[in-house]
Amino acid sequence: MSQDRRRARRDPAGEEPAGLSDYASRVLDVAEAIPPGQVMSYGDIAEYLGEGGPRQVGRVMALWGGGVAWWRVIHSDGSLLAGAERAALARYRQEGTPMRLGSDGHPSRVDMRRARWSGRD
């Protein structure tokens, strides 16, 4: 686990948040390892870890994902996280993440065929 992420997850007193389990720590480690320009779905991370499911990974990301590259963990259909679309799109542009265009010609979702990371690179 990186020092920056450890610091980001600590509360003002320098303590790890209550309830941060080994599973949550492993989810965050995988999220942190996803290379720029690539993504994994919530289910991909659960499958990679061999434990939990998309909802469990989503819960971890909702509670503690702010200290890692949260925009690289997305829905399996490539759709953007509701409420964070603008921030995520800015990151995707910056990193060169492959996108699919909507009917209006603007990026509407991540191209999962091209952007999905297997965790083995």
Element (H, E) at 53: none
- The number of beta carbons lying within 10 Å of the beta carbon of residue 98 is 17
Q: What is the pTM of this model?
A: 0.83
Is residue 120 included in any domain, yes or no?
Answer: no
Which band of pLDDT confidence, cut at 50, 70 and 90, is reported for residue 82? Answer: confident
Which pLDDT belongs to residue 88?
A: 95
Look up the CATH number of the domain holding residue 85: 1.10.10.10
pLDDT tens-digit map of 33-66: 999 999 999 999 999 999 999 999 999 999 999 9
Is residue 48 included in any domain, yes or no?
Answer: yes
Is residue 121 included in any domain, yes or no?
Answer: no
C-alpha–C-alpha distance, residues 78 and 89, integer Å: 12
Distance of CA 41 to the CA centre of its chain: 8
C-alpha–C-alpha distance, residues 14 and 1, integer Å: 16
Contact 67, 17 (CB under 8 A): no
How many domains, in total, are found in the chain? 1
Structural domain boundaries, residue 8: 3-114
Is residue 46 included in any domain, yes or no?
Answer: yes
